[in-house]
Chain A
Amino acid sequence: MSLLKVLRATDLIRSHSALRWCRHTGSFPRYDYDLVVLGGGSAGLACAKEAVDCGARVLCFDYVKPTPVGTKWGIGGTCVNVGCIPKKLMHQASLLGEAVHEAVAYGWNVDDRNLRPDWRKLVRSVQNHIKSVNWVTRVDLRDKKVEYVNSMGAFVDSHTIMYYPKPGQEGDRRQVTAKYVVVAVGGRPRYPDIPGAMELGITSDDIFSYEREPGRTLVVGAGYVGLECACFLKGLGYDPTVMVRSIVLRGFDRQMSELLAAMMSERGVSFLNTTVPSSVERQSDGRLLVRYLNTTTQTVGSDVFDTVLWAIGRRGLIDDLNLGAAGVKTLNDKIVVDASEATNVPHIFAVGDIIHGRPELTPVAILSGRLLARRLFAGSTQRMDYADVATTVFTPLEYSCVGMSEESAIELHGADNIEVFHGYYKPTEFFIPQKSVRHCYLKAVAEMAGDQRILGLHYIGPVAGEVIQGFAAALKSGLTVKTLLNTVGIHPTTAEEFTRLSITKRSGRDPTPASCCS
């Protein structure tokens, strides 16, 4: 009897499933679904599909709120639509432009003097590919029997999600109940709180389908999104400037980040260091006037651009979920989870970019989503290992790393217990076109003692992601310096330079090589 009183007090009595429960006290409540996934991105889809494979009934919600300038996209989440995939394609486009110039040195009769990109054609090709991936995703969901609804879900209580099947038609409201809920709604780019930011600036959500040529672009933000965008814009022949609030690539190895910025400067990307934007306004000629403040010199400045791209960070999309109704704890704009991705509410989980304090990477989202589904529906106990996750920054000389930064290793183990092997190297293919090798550099951060277990590997150079991927598996297996130096390199490659590391930072010797093959 007191149970009913409690239920009345908390309004749960209104929920259909709760009513059923009250009438049949003693029988186990039946839910509409075993699992409801909020979010159809890398994490959500991986979790949903794996859950179905394990025998669960799954419903997946996905919805994209248009950007301030009206950009929308289909199912698949950030990576597929406005992240990794289009980014890599535009990165490739800019590399190919570079390759045309190099081809001349290799004897090709190309006229590389007035090489101009067809921005609209590039955007169309990229968007066509993205749409084909959207379609394949839908077919896959259908084949795997994951039910899909194109609308936003919000909590009514911890087991009930409500949604509007036709967003905009508030009269038609539906509800579903779920035994488990996985929140995988991801994040979106932030806008600065300055005049003109939303009306006149765009973000990574918009650039990959941007109908106008970007022209002279101001990229505000020096995380990997800002640097990658600035670099492919530079490679396509536009004139980007990067505005850096304090440091480039916060969270990454300091030395490597500074080297990467130097590489970008050498290639002609302008930097406005220790500067923050104050306002954006449209001039009479249609171009954008940006006023900014240099926080070191405390001087104000301004400049005119065709496009302003905000890349100042991303916020978690907790606002529309009504998490309070479910009692889920958040921190800043992210959901707090434990080592099994559980929130403070035992049957509600979160995966992907929405969770607090974990790497915001697609492969992390996918694997953690899959492992979670197996734990929920297949009796698995395996948890996600978030340590030693390899990642790559896709600038024209790419930077890839796995494991600890040098400063993290020193902080954890002490400088006397760490040995850093390093070296500059010269890729064979760079000589003929006389490409700069000034920033081709790599290092291994290792323990001092014994066989010298490797704690971190860092590499700047061509195809860095391809180079580091295999080493990530090696690191996870306990790679030591001893094994590394006894590994025979593949020649001529740049990856083999890891097997040729011999100079330590401690020795003070010049890490610049004289020649290869010795």
Chain B
Amino acid sequence: MQRQMINILTRRLGTAQQMRPLSVTAQRREIFKVQSAEDFDKKVKNSQQPVVVDFFATWCNPCKLLTPRIENVVGEQKGSIKLAKVDIDEHSELALDYDVAAVPVLVVMQNGKEVQRMVGLQDEDKIRAWVAAAVKQTKQ
């Protein structure tokens, strides 16, 4: 439905003036904050695609720096990998189940299992390389 509307709009705009590309990144579906244990099961463990889980805390400054970086990198992957954000205070049992001690922690999950994890803040290039490697590995 959204796609049809975009197509209509772009065609209208295109006739009126020079074609301006309108991109609708499905960010709402790719990047989300986990609301409950059931939400985690449904959207992470049972996800068809691999998911990067960002375990963060509101009181953690490196987490505040990491989240926009991982959001960027996941956005660049254009849907081949999703991002689930977990507030460890809201979902303490879940975080403890995944052995989260220090934060931030990024965990790549596929088919309900952990593939790899990265602990601590890294610069965006390192994160990009790490995510790319994860996507590649999960495609195999």
Contact = CB atoms under 8 A, between A and B. Distances in A.
A132 B96 contact: no
A128 interface: yes
Contacts of B61: 128
A139 B60 CA distance: 16
A287 interface: no
A171 B61 CA distance: 41
B57 A131 contact: yes
A135 B103 CA distance: 10
Q: Dominant SS at the A interface?
A: helix
A139 B96 contact: yes
B77 interface: no
A144 to B, nearest CB: 13
Interface residues of A, number: 11
Nearest to A150: B92
B65 interface: no
A130 B103 CA distance: 15
A305 B86 CA distance: 43
A201 B57 CA distance: 32
Contact of B60 (A127, A130, A132, A138): A132
Given A135-B88, A135-B89, A139-B101, A128 B59 contact: yes
Nearest to A134: B89
Identify which of B59, B60, B89, B101 gathers the most chain A CB atoms within 10 Å of its CB. B59
Interface string B55-92: 00111110000000000000000000000000011001
B95 to A, nearest CB: 9
A138 B89 CA distance: 10
B101 A132 contact: no
A131 B89 contact: yes
Contacts of A128: 58-61
B96 A138 contact: yes
A103 B20 CA distance: 58
A20 interface: no
Interface string B96-131: 100011010000000000000000000000000000
Nearest to B100: A139
A358 interface: no
A142 interface: yes
Interface string A121-147: 000000111111001101100100000
B57 A138 contact: no
A47 B61 CA distance: 32
A138 B59 contact: no
A142 B61 CA distance: 24
Contacts of A136: 101
Nearest to A128: B59
Contacts of A130: 59
17 contacts: A127-B59, A128-B60, A128-B61, A130-B59, A131-B58, A131-B59, A132-B57, A132-B60, A135-B57, A135-B88, A135-B89, A135-B103, A136-B101, A138-B92, A138-B96, A139-B101, A142-B96
Interface of A: 127-132, 135-136, 138-139, 142
Interface of B: 57-61, 88-89, 92, 96, 100-101, 103
